[in-house]
Amino acid sequence: MKITVCGATGRIGQELVKRALVDGHDVTAIVRDPSRLPVRADRLDVVVADVFDGEAIAPAIKGRDAVLSAVGPRPDGPTTVCSDTAAALRWALRETGVRRLIVVSASGPYVDGGDDPLTRYAVKPVLRRVLREGWADLVRAEEVVRSSGLDWTILRPSRLTDKPGTGRVRRRLDRNLPLGMFTPRAEVAVEMLRVLRDPTTFGHSIALAR
């Protein structure tokens, strides 16, 4: 498939680009600083553009089969990185006629019946205070994606780590996972590619955890 990756210079994004190339996809990576993407390949096209600008990124999306966004919130202070990216992508995909969109969010901002008592009553309340700005941005981004009318899938990993992937990641549709304490970034990249062609994931969120 021909795919466009946003957030390609991040830790999930770099893993996603590498794995997509190994899987035989043609990859267009939207970046601000090409030097931060230490991957080069014949089937990789690196495009310098502002991911917050729908008109600027539209040429890198036109004619592709899907867009995969690994953009994450800034760690400190108020942020609109994820929601601004989602809005730009929504505009660009609608403008170019591309329908498939996969984005990375997080399970942290959401509490549901899938959470175990420790996570629901102890872990998430504490993290909600510490990470409230980033989580609020993720919630706004999900609202943009959900209202887009596109064939979207939202991945909600638990706390991200750089541990190697093992292929033993747990997943659940539209519901959190109990005792889902961490998710390797490598597993998130694998899952983004796994759901790429799966229409049963359209319009759904997927919780991920080791």
pLDDT digits (tens, 9 = 90+) for 47-71: 999 999 999 999 999 999 999 999 9
In the chain, where the domains are located = 2-209
Residue carrying structure tokens 């660009």: 92
The pLDDT value given to residue 7 = 96
* Nearest in space to 91 (alpha carbons), one of 43, 147, 134, 42: 147
Task: Give me the average pLDDT of each 10-residue run along the chain (210 residues).
Answer: 97 97 98 94 96 98 98 84 98 98 96 90 85 93 98 97 89 94 95 97 96
The pLDDT value given to residue 181 = 87
- Give the single-character DSSP code of 51: T
pTM value is 0.95
Encoding tokens for residue 17? 């680009």
Distance between CA atoms of 191 and 135, rounded to whole angstroms? 21
Positive/negative CA dihedral, 6, 9, 11, 16 = positive
Range 2-209 classified under CATH 3.40.50.10320: no
The answer to whether 146 touches 105, Cβ cutoff 8 Å, is no
Distance between CA atoms of 120 and 150, rounded to whole angstroms? 31
Distance between CA atoms of 26 and 143, rounded to whole angstroms? 29
The answer to whether 180 touches 129, Cβ cutoff 8 Å, is no
The pLDDT value given to residue 25 = 98
